[in-house]
């Protein structure tokens, strides 16, 4: 069929032989070491522990069974040494001494023996088969012989090889030569003859037309059955070589015009023979190899513009039927298996051919015949899995393949072409034919009903807990996935009342199934299946909201699914429900990463009461409620995921609403002092709330969330308020009125919140952590005092204008007064932290007086500055001496009475 790089075969064989020789050399060295050790043990006549035997030697050499003398009894004396006379006498017949010594283990074959008895035989058999193939190829290219003579000579060569193989097998069976178990000459000759026979019959049919399809089918079947019978006699070596030769034959014996019907009829016969041999000898490796190679043969021809759907469909259907009959355990002629087990090969065999059918549908642009063949295989998967539980694992692959097919159909086609076939220019692009659309809709309805009904009816049929759960998962997930794909294809992700009605009907069906299963007696896996159908009910209702409402409701619907799933998990403690709640939360989180505005440009300009409130507020409330439900059962990973989503959406709600308010609805505008101030205040307030909440819940997420929010507030405070939008440094913002202005919001209120946060963490976190937050409060309070004085002298815009002597003097007096207030508070409430803050502010004032005031102030302002500073310092010293650290004067000693 297809030309292959034949010149590469020799290089591949040489490289393989080189590595095999290296491995054989190392094995021979190990065997020589082991043989020397055994010889020393025999010559020394003392029990010696044999050396460790490598695994590859154990597989080829039987382990020796050394015999040791029985141990002596505790009171027994050792037997005296035999005299010369006694030693010379032969032992009596039948006595223990007359038993022959145990035979020495046969030495393992060395490198030379392996090379001469195994590798040469294998390579020779491969060379015979390749010689026959290449002779046919050469005769075709050179035109030496006619087609009839070529086929005749090929048949004679195949018969000669088969006859030689049978003759050598019979001669070995009657001679004293024992055949090697893995490299005997009869098996190699028979395998080569089988491969040449396959090639000859295939060439006679596909290349020259000497045989009609019926005759070719019969002859190929005879050869396949002969290979099967020969492999039963010669073992797995013949099976492996025969299968490889049979599947490689269409590549080596090629033609210019591929005939896919001939190819796939031939592959069907080969697959049947291989599956039959694997079933009789229970060779799992042979079945897996055959399935893999057969599915790979689906790819040729799929990349062409005009895909031949019919032969490709025949190939996957034939392989599927053969796998179901001969490979699937417990179905028809497949091997037996214990009830209730899912067997990997049985499930993967059906899944592999489903994958091939899916590729045919996608590559043929959803041709009707390809879609029908795919539907037949999906229906066959449901039927086989229903009859044979070992193939239940294929249900997941079937559901995934169905979703991929319809999702690709939704992405490929333009929904407008349903109304205007052909698009604006006739003949350009694919045309949406009414019949094709109808077939897809009918197929989708059949798939949804088939998976749903079969999944419901399968409950209670198995003693295993896994099988009914797989059925219920497929019954819930597949209809929902199909509905979403059709919605994307037909409604183009816009509002659609018909699809909302379909989602409501689907939710009603899942709800009825949940109620019906709840009334049944307890069976393995029933509780999990009930939970899955209940989750499907919530999911379908959420989709109904999504279909009927705007796009932003999808986020809300998924968040409500998380809340509903958490509530169901509280009623029915099933671990999978907790994980589903976490998965829904993760999906909603990923959704906002795609579009943080939820509904794009349709957010609106109304402050607070806009789409951000619904898009973030309702999910945040849902996640907080879900975390409450989940915490009643356990503190595990799903709970932490939901708690993290609750904190994230609460914080994002605050940030997005603040940004919307500060920018007037223009979400892409640059940040401002107002935005930074509101963000810092809200973030600090949430951090205080989480600090209080974590003390009651003990949640790791609450703990980390509080620290994260505090860090975010710190970053915005330093870089946003103190640097970028500081009205005294870079920003020419209008701060507003004299008292009620942005300075009060951006510096005074954050200072108060930082102080409250420092007291909230005091005693529960490290001292350094609390003191750092308190230090931030002091910095912002002092900044507020400074900026407010600047506002008094310069008006609402603080950036412009020089600093007068009166302003400098006011700064000193204001700082000094602030330090005195802190000291008074520290004395009244007995707070060492407030007194230390006062000392820091006064120290800063002293530094300013000696560094700035002395050089910039003149006249009365300089004198007043230092006079006030001195008075305050003396007063502070008096307070510390009289109030805080007053010394008690010891009373004078009482006079002693005279005697």
Q: What is the DSSP string of 374-418?
A: HHHHHHHHHHHHHH-GGGTTHHHHHHHHHHHHHHHHHHHS-GGGG
Q: Work out the average pLDDT over 108-132.
A: 52
783-790 long-range contacts (CB < 8 A, ≥24 apart) are: 783/722, 783/747, 784/743, 784/744, 784/747, 784/748, 784/751, 785/814, 785/815, 785/818, 786/728, 786/811, 786/814, 786/815, 787/727, 787/728, 787/735, 787/743, 787/747, 788/743, 789/814, 790/728
Residue 81: is its pLDDT beyond 70? no
Give the residue from 725, 744, 859, 870 showing the smallest Cα distance to 804: 859
* Confidence at residue 428, expressed as pLDDT on a 0 to 100 scale: 38
Comparing 168 with 482, which gets the higher pLDDT?
Answer: 482
Average pLDDT value over all residues in the chain: 78
Residue 147: is its pLDDT beyond 70? no
Please report where in the chains the tokens 């030693």 appear, as a residue: 87
Q: Residue 299 in contact with residue 360, Cβ under 8 Å?
A: no
Q: Is 85 exposed, middle or buried (0-12, 13-18, 19+ CB in 10 A)?
A: exposed
Comparing 315 with 236, which gets the higher pLDDT?
Answer: 315
* Confidence at residue 306, expressed as pLDDT on a 0 to 100 scale: 75
Confidence of residue 261 (pLDDT cuts 50, 70, 90): confident
Please write the tens of the pLDDT for every residue from 495-542: 888 999 999 999 999 999 988 998 888 888 888 898 889 888 888 888
435-447: buried (b, 16+ CB within 10 Å) or exposed (e) per residue? ebbebbeebbeeb
Q: Residue 560 in contact with residue 537, Cβ under 8 Å?
A: no
Confidence of residue 182 (pLDDT cuts 50, 70, 90): very low
Residue 142: is its pLDDT beyond 80? no
Q: Residue 718 in contact with residue 651, Cβ under 8 Å?
A: no
Q: Residue 664 in contact with residue 729, Cβ under 8 Å?
A: no
* Confidence at residue 171, expressed as pLDDT on a 0 to 100 scale: 64
Q: What is the token pair recorded at 453? A: 């009904």
Residue 888: is its pLDDT beyond 60? no
Q: Work out the average pLDDT over 723-736.
A: 90
Q: Work out the average pLDDT over 618-641.
A: 94
Which range, of 92-101, 143-152, 480-489, 687-696, averages the lowest pLDDT? 92-101
* Confidence at residue 570, expressed as pLDDT on a 0 to 100 scale: 85
Please report where in the chains the tokens 């393992």 appear, as a residue: 108
Q: Residue 623 in contact with residue 559, Cβ under 8 Å?
A: yes
Q: Is 831 exposed, middle or buried (0-12, 13-18, 19+ CB in 10 A)?
A: middle
Q: Work out the average pLDDT over 39-46.
A: 56
Predicted structure pTM score:
0.60
Q: Residue 594 in contact with residue 558, Cβ under 8 Å?
A: no
Q: Supply angle C-alpha 877, 880, 882, rounded to 5.
A: 105
* Confidence at residue 319, expressed as pLDDT on a 0 to 100 scale: 95
Helix (H, G, I), strand (E, B) or coil at 78: coil
Distances (CA, A) of 35 to 28, 32, 54, 107, 775: 10, 5, 13, 7, 81
Q: Work out the average pLDDT over 583-600.
A: 82
* Confidence at residue 48, expressed as pLDDT on a 0 to 100 scale: 45
Question: What's the CA gap between 600 and 191, in Å, rounded?
Answer: 68
* Confidence at residue 77, expressed as pLDDT on a 0 to 100 scale: 44
Confidence of residue 892 (pLDDT cuts 50, 70, 90): low
Comparing 752 with 869, which gets the higher pLDDT?
Answer: 752
Residue 887: is its pLDDT beyond 50? no
Q: Residue 392 in contact with residue 471, Cβ under 8 Å?
A: yes
Backbone phi, then psi, for 741, in 5-degree steps?
-150, -175
Q: Residue 194 in contact with residue 223, Cβ under 8 Å?
A: yes
Q: How many CB atoms lie within 10 A of CB 645?
A: 27
- DSSP bridge partners of 736: 741
How far the first Cα of the chain sits from its last, in Å, is 140
Residue 462: is its pLDDT beyond 90? no
Q: Residue 614 in contact with residue 552, Cβ under 8 Å?
A: yes
Residue 95: is its pLDDT beyond 60? no
Per-residue DSSP letter, 797: B
- For 542-584, the DSSP string reads HHHHHHHS-TTHHHHHHHHHHHHHHHHHHHS--HHHHHHHHHH
Distances (CA, A) of 468 to 398, 508, 529: 16, 21, 7
876-879 long-range contacts (CB < 8 A, ≥24 apart) are: 876/820, 876/823, 876/842, 879/823, 879/827
Q: How many CB atoms lie within 10 A of CB 657?
A: 20
Question: What's the CA gap between 656 and 770, in Å, rounded?
Answer: 29
Q: Work out the average pLDDT over 818-823.
A: 89
Residues in the chain: 899
Confidence of residue 609 (pLDDT cuts 50, 70, 90): confident
Question: What's the CA gap between 676 and 100, in Å, rounded?
Answer: 98
Residue 270: is its pLDDT beyond 70? yes
Which range, of 309-323, 464-478, 538-552, averages the lowest pLDDT? 538-552
**305 Cβ contact list (under 8 Å, min separation 6):** none
Question: What's the CA gap between 391 and 323, in Å, rounded?
Answer: 11
295-306: buried (b, 16+ CB within 10 Å) or exposed (e) per residue? bebbebbbeeee
Helix (H, G, I), strand (E, B) or coil at 734: strand
Please report where in the chains the tokens 């940030």 appear, as a residue: 655
Q: Work out the average pLDDT over 476-504.
A: 89
Distances (CA, A) of 652 to 408, 623, 708, 718: 34, 13, 13, 21
Question: What's the CA gap between 750 and 743, in Å, rounded?
Answer: 10
Confidence of residue 80 (pLDDT cuts 50, 70, 90): very low
* Confidence at residue 249, expressed as pLDDT on a 0 to 100 scale: 66
Give the residue from 167, 283, 258, 274 showing the smallest Cα distance to 206: 258
C-alpha neighbours within 13 Å on the C-beta side of residue 415: 12
Distances (CA, A) of 280 to 222, 284, 342: 18, 11, 21
* Confidence at residue 525, expressed as pLDDT on a 0 to 100 scale: 87
Give the residue from 473, 472, 479, 622 showing the smallest Cα distance to 560: 622
Q: Residue 420 in contact with residue 430, Cβ under 8 Å?
A: no
* Confidence at residue 89, expressed as pLDDT on a 0 to 100 scale: 46
Per-residue DSSP letter, 725: T
Q: Work out the average pLDDT over 319-338.
A: 90
Give the residue from 185, 294, 271 showing the smallest Cα distance to 221: 271
Q: Work out the average pLDDT over 267-275.
A: 87
Question: What's the CA gap between 279 and 273, in Å, rounded?
Answer: 10
Confidence of residue 555 (pLDDT cuts 50, 70, 90): confident
Question: What's the CA gap between 549 and 497, in Å, rounded?
Answer: 9
Question: What's the CA gap between 279 and 329, in Å, rounded?
Answer: 10
């Amino acid at each position: 069929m297809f030309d292959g790089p034949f010149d590469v075969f020799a290089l591949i064989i040489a490289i393989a032989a080189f590595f095999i020789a290296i491995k054989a050399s190392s094995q021979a060295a190990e065997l020589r070491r082991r043989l020397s050790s055994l010889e020393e043990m025999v010559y020394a006549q003392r029990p010696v522990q044999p050396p460790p035997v490598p695994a590859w030697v154990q597989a080829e050499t039987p382990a020796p069974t050394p015999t040791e003398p029985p141990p002596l009894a505790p009171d027994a004396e050792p037997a005296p040494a035999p005299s010369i006379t006694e030693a010379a006498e032969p032992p009596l017949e039948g006595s223990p001494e007359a038993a022959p010594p145990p035979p020495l283990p046969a030495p393992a074959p060395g490198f030379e023996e392996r090379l001469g008895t195994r590798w040469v035989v294998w390579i020779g058999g491969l060379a015979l088969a390749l010689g026959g193939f290449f002779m046919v190829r050469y005769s075709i290219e050179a035109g030496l012989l006619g087609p009839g003579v070529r086929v005749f000579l090929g048949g004679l060569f195949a018969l000669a090889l088969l006859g030689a193989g049978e003759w050598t097998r019979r001669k070995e069976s009657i001679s004293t030569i024992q055949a090697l178990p893995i490299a005997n000459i009869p098996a190699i000759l028979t395998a080569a003859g089988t491969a040449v026979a396959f090639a000859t019959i295939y060439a006679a049919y596909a290349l020259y037309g000497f045989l009609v399809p019926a005759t070719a089918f019969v002859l190929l079947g005879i050869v396949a059955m002969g290979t099967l019978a020969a492999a039963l006699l010669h073992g797995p070596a013949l099976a492996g070589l025969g299968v490889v030769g049979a599947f490689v034959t269409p590549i080596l014996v090629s033609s210019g015009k591929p005939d896919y019907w001939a190819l796939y009829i031939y592959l069907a016969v080969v697959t049947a023979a291989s599956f039959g041999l694997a079933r009789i000898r229970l060779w799992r490796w042979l079945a897996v190899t055959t399935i893999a190679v057969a599915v790979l043969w689906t790819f040729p021809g799929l990349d062409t513009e005009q895909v031949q759907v019919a032969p490709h469909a025949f190939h996957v259907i034939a392989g599927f039927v053969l796998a179901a009959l001969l490979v699937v355990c417990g179905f028809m002629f497949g091997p037996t298996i214990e009830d209730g087990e899912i067997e990997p090969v049985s499930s993967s065999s059906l899944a592999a051919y489903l994958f091939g059918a899916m590729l045919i549908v996608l590559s043929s642009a959803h041709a009707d015949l390809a879609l029908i063949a795919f539907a037949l295989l999906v229906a066959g998967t449901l039927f086989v899995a229903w009859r044979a539980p070992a193939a239940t694992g294929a249900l997941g692959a079937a559901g995934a393949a169905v979703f991929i097919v319809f999702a690709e159909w939704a992405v490929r086609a333009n929904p407008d072409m349903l109304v205007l076939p052909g698009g604006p220019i006739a003949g350009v692009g694919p045309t949406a034919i009414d019949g094709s659309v109808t077939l897809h809709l009918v197929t989708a309805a059949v798939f949804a009903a088939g998976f749903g009904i079969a999944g419901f009816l399968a409950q209670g049929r198995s003693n295993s807990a896994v099988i009914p759960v797989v059925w219920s998962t497929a019954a819930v997930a597949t209809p929902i996935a199909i509905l979403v794909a059709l919605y994307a294809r037909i409604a183009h992700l816009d509002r659609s009342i018909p699809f909302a009605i379909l989602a409501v009907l689907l939710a009603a069906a899942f709800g009825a199934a949940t109620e019906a299963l709840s009334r049944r007696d307890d069976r393995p896996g029933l509780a999990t299946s009930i939970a899955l159908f209940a989750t499907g009910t919530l999911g379908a209702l959420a989709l109904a909201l999504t279909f009927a409402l705007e796009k932003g409701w999808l986020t809300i619907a998924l968040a409500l699914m998380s809340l509903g799933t958490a509530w169901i998990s509280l009623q029915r403690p099933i671990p999978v429900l907790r994980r589903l709640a976490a998965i829904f939360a993760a999906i909603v989180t990923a959704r906002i990463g795609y579009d943080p505005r939820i509904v794009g440009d349709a957010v609106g300009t109304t402050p607070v009461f806009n789409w951000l409130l619904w898009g973030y507020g309702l999910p945040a409330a849902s996640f907080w409620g879900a975390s409450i439900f989940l915490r009643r059962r356990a503190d595990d990973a799903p709970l932490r995921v939901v708690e993290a989503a609750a904190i994230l959406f609460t914080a994002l709600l605050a940030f997005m609403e603040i940004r919307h308010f500060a920018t007037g609805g223009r979400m892409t505008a640059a940040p401002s002092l107002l935005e930074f101030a509101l963000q810092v205040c809200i973030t600090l307030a949430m951090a205080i709330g989480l600090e209080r909440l974590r003390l009651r819940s003990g949640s790791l997420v609450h703990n980390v969330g509080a620290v994260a929010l505090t860090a975010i507030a710190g970053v915005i405070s330093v870089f946003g308020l103190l640097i970028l939008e500081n009205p005294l440094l870079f920003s020419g913002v209008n701060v507003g009125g004299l008292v009620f202005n942005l300075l009060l919001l951006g510096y005074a209120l954050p200072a108060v919140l930082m102080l409250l946060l420092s007291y909230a963490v005091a005693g529960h976190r490290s001292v350094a952590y609390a003191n750092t937050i308190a230090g931030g409060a002091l910095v912002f309070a002092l900044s507020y005092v400074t900026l407010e004085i600047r506002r008094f002298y310069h008006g609402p815009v603080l950036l412009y204008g020089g600093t007068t002597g009166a302003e400098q003097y006011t700064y000193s007096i204001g700082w000094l007064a602030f330090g005195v207030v802190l000291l008074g508070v520290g004395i009244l409430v007995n707070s060492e932290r407030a007194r230390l803050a006062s000392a820091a502010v006064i120290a800063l004032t002293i530094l300013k007086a000696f560094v700035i005031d002395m050089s910039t102030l003149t006249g009365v302002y300089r004198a007043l500055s230092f006079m006030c500073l001195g008075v305050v310092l003396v007063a502070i010293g008096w307070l510390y001496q009289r109030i805080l650290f007053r010394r008690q004067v010891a009373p004078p000693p009482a006079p002693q009475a005279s005697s």
